[in-house]
Amino acid sequence: MQLTKHLFSCLSLFFLLVVATGCEREDFDIAANTDFPPSILSSYPSANGRVVAGDFTVRVVFADGTVSPLESATVVLMDDAMTALAEQTTELSGTRDSLVIEGSAFGAADLPVGVYNMTVSVTDTKGQTTEQAFSFEISNLPFPANYDGIYLAGAFNGWTPSSNQLTLVGPNMWEAQNVDLQGEAWKLVDGPEFGGEDWGDPECDGFMNSNQSPGGNGDTDCGFSGLVNIRFNDQTLSYSVTPAVSYASNSMSLYLLGTFNNFQGSNYQFDLVDDNSWVLDEVELMPGAQFRMAEMPDFQGINYGDNENDGIAERYGSNIVLPDTAMEGFYSITFNDRSLAYSLTFLRGFAPDITTIGLIGSAVPGGWDAPNGDFSLDYNEDAGMWMTVVALVDGELKFRANDAWDLSWGSSDFPSGTATSDNGPNIPATAGTYLVTFNPEDGAFSFTPAEIGVIGNATPGGWDNDTNLSADPNELGAFTLSTTLTEGELKFRVNDAWTYNWGGDAFPSGTAVYNGSNIVATPGTYTVTFNVNTKTYSFQ
């Protein structure tokens, strides 16, 4: 479970992008660029994730384009010996659909802890298929989490992780209470000693960097002092540090249960923010949704409904109903467990479906007008985010979806930060060639300096070592190399890693494709050129 900064789950529309370059707007083939293989958006259990021992439901969400919508999907659940426990094929339709296997179909409640496997395949109406195979773990942890334990280390405890272990208090959510960080640097660690994965936030932006992500990480040195409570989400890598204040309450905890989670589960938990005052920051609600507040996620303890739907709850009252006239979207909810008054505040509507994500701006090839469309990013399923390589000039830029301003993201930070979709500022960019990563779920982005190399059994370094190209000062985005090739195959890639690479089906020249096939080379001595902006390459 190698987590980079701001991953997450789950939980948005991502599509594999087919890039169209070098064509005028009037020649742009919209149909061709919305026809791509189906995508596996999310799954529960997730790849390399954990679920709590007991009853659980398998759910996989799929998406596709309008030209070739979804047709069917098959999910097979297996034990560690690859013996099938459940198999289900479901007919799908439209551009987004899901497959669900109830826990009763495979005896989820009786499955022992251990490693299990899933295979997922989805096909669209054109016969295009996407497959994925992965394992997950059923564990005895009280909630799903990616790690067996999280520990706190810093100057305040002599950098000894074993001195402070966090408690798993919700799905992927770890907490340490009443800690005095003494205003000094600290980190979170995946074990009682350093040596595995650890996290720090040198930017103090509320999201941790993993030491196993490109560029590593640093300490969290944000001046926190006095007694504080620390919460850390090991899925999204978000964290909070809040004063350790004790508030009066009539409930030991509070959850929102409703039609959106089958009236069970801990995925919507309120925070106690003042005496008797609870807040749920965000929940997705549709008109007609029914819900209630409950002390426990399984209806043990007290629960609250509203017989009159008038904003004053009653113990064990009727379900609260969101009126049919209400806006669909995201709401925050407040509840006072003394007066029993509650309120809902509309936050925002649903964002448009994301089919493409691109860069636009004065720093980007094409400028703000982007006559051939935004500079496109590709979706990397393994990394769980959108990526590209681009050569920039000094200027400004933004991320946006679907080549339109309906949904865009900006920030005042560079080369990394968190972009917001509320018409935020333009991102100030510095000239250079960068590997760009972007997660529209939480707005996390980074621009990492990029080196371009060629690798393969046709190259001097074989498949083990890249032979790097040099930037051409006379052409933006161009790289060049003089080398001798033997008979074989090769690819271009970035920063000596397979995270982002290009292939092609032509030699000695052509247009490279993200994650494309190996280029079949002819032996000889060549001057190699490759332009990251146009994706064109040649061997002369």
Residue whose entry in the numeric block shows the structure tokens 């050129």: 529
Q: What is the CATH number of the domain that holds 128?
A: 2.60.40.1220
pLDDT score at 100: 95
Bridge partners of residue 494, in order along the sequence: 452, 497
Whether residues 106 and 175 share a domain: the answer is no
Residue 33: the pLDDT is: 52
Distance CA 152, CA 191 (A): 9
pTM (2 d.p.): 0.42
pLDDT of the residue at 172: 86
- For 133-168, b/e burial (b = at least 16 CB within 10 A) is eeebbbbebebbbbbebbbbbbebbeeebeebebeb
CATH of the domain at 211: 2.60.40.3620
pLDDT of 18 reads: 34
* Residue 269: strand pairing partners: 255
Together in a domain, 496 and 412: no
pLDDT at position 25 is: 37
Spatial contact of 403 and 374, defined as CB atoms under 8 Å apart = yes
Residue 202, in any domain of the structure = yes
Provide the CB-side half-sphere exposure for 201 (13 A, CA): 19
Distance CA 387, CA 514 (A): 10
Q: Write the CA distances from 381 to 39, 181, 197, 401, 439, integer angstroms.
A: 9, 37, 22, 18, 12
The answer to the question of residue 1 being in a domain is no
Provide the domain count of the chain: 5
Nearest CA to 393 among 473, 476, 495, 480? 476
Inside any domain, residue 350: no
Q: Which DSSP letter does residue 108 get? A: G
Q: Is residue 489 part of a domain?
A: yes
Please indicate, yes or no, whether residues 424 and 459 belong to a single structural domain of this protein.
Answer: no
| Rounded Cα distance, 419 and 156, in Å | 32
Domain end point (choices 243, 263, 283): 243
DSSP state of 269: B
pLDDT one-digit tens code per residue, 288-332 = 999 999 988 887 788 999 999 999 999 999 999 999 998 888 999
Q: Are residues 92 and 73 part of one domain?
A: yes
Q: Are residues 233 and 267 in the same domain?
A: no
Q: What's the domain range around 499?
A: 452-539
In a domain, 115, yes or no: yes
Q: Does 287 lie in the same domain as 203?
A: no
The pLDDT profile of the chain, 540 residues, written as one tens digit per residue, is 433 333 333 333 333 333 333 333 344 444 445 578 999 988 989 888 888 888 999 999 999 988 999 999 999 999 999 999 999 999 999 999 999 999 999 999 999 999 999 999 999 999 999 999 999 999 888 888 889 899 999 999 999 999 999 999 888 899 999 999 998 999 999 999 999 999 999 998 889 999 988 878 999 999 887 888 999 999 889 888 887 877 888 887 899 999 999 998 878 989 888 899 999 999 999 999 999 999 888 877 889 999 999 999 999 999 999 999 988 889 999 999 999 999 999 987 766 678 899 999 999 998 998 777 899 999 988 888 899 999 999 999 999 999 988 889 999 999 999 998 877 899 999 999 999 999 988 889 999 999 999 999 999 999 999 999 999 999 999 999 999 999 999 999 999 999 999 999 999 999 999 999 999 999 999 999 999 999 999 999
Peptide bond into 38 cis (omega under 30): no
Domain boundary among 243, 277, 301: 243
Predicted confidence at residue 328, as pLDDT, reads 85
Among 191, 210, 243, the domain boundary falls at 243
Q: Is residue 144 part of a domain?
A: no
Give Cβ neighbours of residue 177 (< 8 Å, ≥ 6 apart): 167, 229, 244
Tell me, what's the pLDDT at 351?
A: 62
Does residue 225 form part of some domain? Answer: yes
My answer on whether 361 and 329 are in the same domain is no
Task: List all residues 6 or more positions away from 464 whose beta carbon is below 8 Å from its beta carbon.
Answer: none
In this structure, are 216 and 193 located in the same domain? yes
Give residue 75's pLDDT.
98
Which helix (H) or strand (E) covers residue 105, if one does? none
Judgement on whether residues 226 and 278 belong to the same structural domain of the protein: no
Going along 253-394, which residue ranges are E strands? Answer: 255-258, 271-274, 277-285, 290-294, 303-305, 314-315, 320-321, 329-336, 342-348, 357-360, 375-376, 378-380, 385-392
258 and 290 Cβ atoms separated by less than 8 Å: yes
Question: How does pLDDT run across 493-512, given as a tens digit for each residue?
Answer: 999 999 999 999 999 999 99
Domain identity same for 430 and 518? no
Do both 158 and 87 map to the same domain?
no
Q: 417 with 470, same domain?
A: no
Distance of CA 189 to the CA centre of its chain: 21
From 520, 532, 537, select the one nearest 494 (Cα to Cα). 532
Residue 325 in any domain: the answer is yes
- Number of residues in the chain: 540
Strand partners, 151: 165, 189
